[in-house]
Structure 1
């Protein structure tokens, strides 16, 4: 028979493993995932058109899922709970609009088209700026707020799973 300490430790590990991520952890993981995808894109050779297009489509899907969940769930909750974040939320929404335009351009382009790499690069730079502001200005205030971040995180995960690319 296992010792009480061992059993308690095992139960604690299991409950931690089942605990859903809070909203900030989900969004940070999305940010890290997209950054890694952009880095993979940069590593592909100049003539790897098909691989680049496939990876760019993955980036566009991840960003579309993330942006939809933020716009429908995260930003409204932040705006309602933290009045001081209204300007940052507005800026984030404008950045999302710009990202959506670039995503639409990328999805409409053919592999190897002249401005394809440049468009992906500009999207990457826009997203890096957006992430820096969001994680540096909004997330700390959200962390200190009364928002139920676990419930919000679960809703974000569920909503992201429902989103697909247009077309």
Structure 2
């Protein structure tokens, strides 16, 4: 969850972690609980990552990157599509025939988003922000991920200040539910 380094290094490490989970999903031969556990794991990571980006990365992009408002809006729209897919995946059984198609759609959406961030957004951010600012942002992102929800909440606000106020409470509730059910422990 927390990898260290500046914001770009932190978020790229998250990207690699999600790609690794997707690889395990693709190599899973069975369905049932094994697949459900992997879907829960990738959901937890994607939700935490998205919440942290929406709280800290995209406001910085709006403020410091040329045409940052348009870029941030596009990235938030990407998150919204992913969150809708995660909500659908949360609601269906692992042996549901829709599971495979939804997972494929999720992997494609996330891959496109990662490629866009790493090839376009991150270079612009590196040019626009000092190394100290990127380091500080990395710390803020790590703290946000630690407090973030672990389940998709598509109706929740995705821009400050409302998301910074509501996410820790939703995160606390989600982590309590996860503890009681054992979700994310495998």
Q: TM-score when scaled to structure 1?
A: 0.84
Contact 1:85 1:138 in 2 (8 A): no
- The 5-angstrom pairing of residues 14-163 of structure 1 reads 20-45=4-29, 47-147=30-130, 148-163=133-148
Partner in structure 2 of residue 4 of structure 1:
none
SS at match of 2:128: coil
How far apart in 2 are the matches of 1:88 and 1:81?
11
Q: TM-score when scaled to structure 2?
A: 0.76
**CA-CA distance at 1:121 after TM superposition:** 1.2
Contact 1:81 1:145 in 2 (8 A): yes
Partner in structure 2 of residue 13 of structure 1:
none
SS at match of 1:83: coil
What are the ranges of 5 or more consecutive residues in structure 1 without an aligned counterpart?
Answer: 1-19
How far apart in 2 are the matches of 1:99 and 1:92?
11
Q: Which has the larger radius of gyration?
A: 1
How far apart in 2 are the matches of 1:114 and 1:143?
43
How far apart in 1 are the matches of 2:121 and 2:31?
37
Partner in structure 1 of residue 160 of structure 2:
none
**CA-CA distance at 1:87 after TM superposition:** 2.1
* C-alpha RMSD of the superposition: 1.2
Of structures 1 and 2, the one scoring higher in RCO (CA 8 A, sep 6+) is: 1
Partner in structure 1 of residue 164 of structure 2:
none
What is the CA deviation profile of residues 16-65 of structure 1, one whole-angstrom value per residue up to 9, with x for unaligned ones?
A: xxxx41000000000010011001100001x3321111001000010000
How far apart in 1 are the matches of 2:119 and 2:69?
15
What are the ranges of 5 or more consecutive residues in structure 2 without an aligned counterpart?
Answer: 152-173, 175-186
How far apart in 2 are the matches of 1:26 and 1:97?
21
